[in-house]
């Protein structure tokens, strides 16, 4: 799916640009995070509802970074969680079984803002490291806040096709219960992973998760068949 970038409430919002009657795009703010609703009415028997929870880096998060590509330092990254529903036919169609909305995706992605591609055969390494959330009881423990052990997960993508670095799926965040106990996370992109003739580049990102987790919860609560059905009825 090709997405276009636009600016809503200070966020770079990625939505399909389809000028149609009844289209709904709105934003709900959660402190430093937001949820963007993107509803596309039935077109050729298909209606979709996408909820994108977004959190951006702050300028403070860029301090002290030693990125090897200076273009990255001029772009604030975004961490995006998307839940998307698809309905094959509008409600009231002849086939009632086809009127049931179908959940087609939940995914995390990193929007880098940097227009660059890796060649076919090159691989991208993604490291995600979390800082655990410190509870008030552990602050008075002998270790003064716990052992402060960081969790870390790795993922590498590509190798068989070109990779667009503008926006990258971070599948490891879906496959692990990684964000629930984290206060913030660091994401490091290393590309290409193995390189002999040219230097390896690295981009670093940091995101505060406190408001982002509230936005994810809101997105999940409203990414429902009932919500999509209500939108279809309201715009029919």
What CA–CA distance (Å, rounded) separates 73 from 114? 10
Does residue 197 carry a pLDDT above 90?
no
Picking from 235, 224, 229, 213, the residue whose alpha carbon sits closest to that of residue 35 is 213
Q: How many CB atoms lie within 10 A of CB 232?
A: 22
Check residue 233 and give its pLDDT: 79
The residues near 137 (Cβ < 8 Å, ≥ 6 apart) are none
Lowest mean pLDDT among 100-104, 127-131, 139-143: 139-143
Beta bridge partners of residue 201, listed in sequence order: 191
pLDDT in tens, 77-88: 999 999 999 887
3-class DSSP state of 67: coil
Domain that residue 117 falls in: 4-234
What CA–CA distance (Å, rounded) separates 166 from 62? 18
Picking from 183, 217, 210, the residue whose alpha carbon sits closest to that of residue 32 is 210
Show the tokens assigned to 54.
């977004």
Check residue 58 and give its pLDDT: 78
pTM above 0.85, yes or no: no
- DSSP assignment, residue 150? P
Average pLDDT over residues 177-195: 85
Can you give the C-alpha Rg of the chain in angstroms?
Answer: 20
Picking from 218, 168, 214, 175, the residue whose alpha carbon sits closest to that of residue 3 is 168
The residues near 63 (Cβ < 8 Å, ≥ 6 apart) are none
Number of domains into which the chain is organized: 1
Higher pLDDT, residue 187 or 200: 187
- Assign 3-state DSSP to the chain and report helix, strand, coil percentages, each to 5: 20, 45, 40
CA dihedral (15, 84, 163, 172) positive or negative: positive
Higher pLDDT, residue 92 or 201: 201
Residue 187 near residue 170 (C-beta atoms within 8 A): yes
Q: How many CB atoms lie within 10 A of CB 231?
A: 20
Count of all residues that appear for the chain in the document:
236
Average pLDDT over residues 31-51: 86
């Amino acid at each position: 799916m090709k997405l276009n970038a636009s600016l809503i409430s200070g966020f770079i919002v990625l939505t399909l640009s389809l000028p149609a009657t009844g289209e709904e795009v709105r934003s709900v703010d959660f402190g430093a995070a937001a949820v963007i609703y993107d509803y596309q009415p039935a077109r050729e028997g298909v209606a979709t509802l996408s909820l994108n929870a977004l959190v951006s880096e702050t300028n403070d998060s860029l301090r002290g970074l030693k990125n090897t590509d200076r273009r990255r330092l001029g772009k604030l990254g975004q961490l995006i969680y998307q839940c998307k529903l698809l309905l094959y036919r509008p409600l009231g169609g002849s086939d009632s079984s086809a009127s049931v909305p179908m959940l087609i995706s939940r995914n995390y992605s990193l929007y880098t803002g940097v227009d660059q591609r890796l060649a076919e055969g090159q691989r991208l390494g993604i490291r995600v490291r979390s800082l655990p959330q410190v509870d008030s009881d552990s602050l008075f423990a002998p270790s003064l806040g716990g052992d402060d052990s960081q969790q870390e997960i790795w993922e590498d993508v590509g190798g068989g096709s070109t990779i667009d670095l503008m926006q990258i799926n971070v599948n490891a965040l879906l496959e692990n219960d990684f964000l629930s106990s984290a206060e913030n996370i660091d994401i490091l992109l290393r590309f290409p992973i193995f390189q002999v003739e040219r230097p390896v580049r690295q981009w670093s990102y940091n995101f505060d998760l406190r408001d982002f987790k509230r936005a994810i919860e809101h997105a999940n609560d409203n990414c429902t068949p009932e919500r999509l059905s209500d939108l279809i009825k309201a715009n029919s």
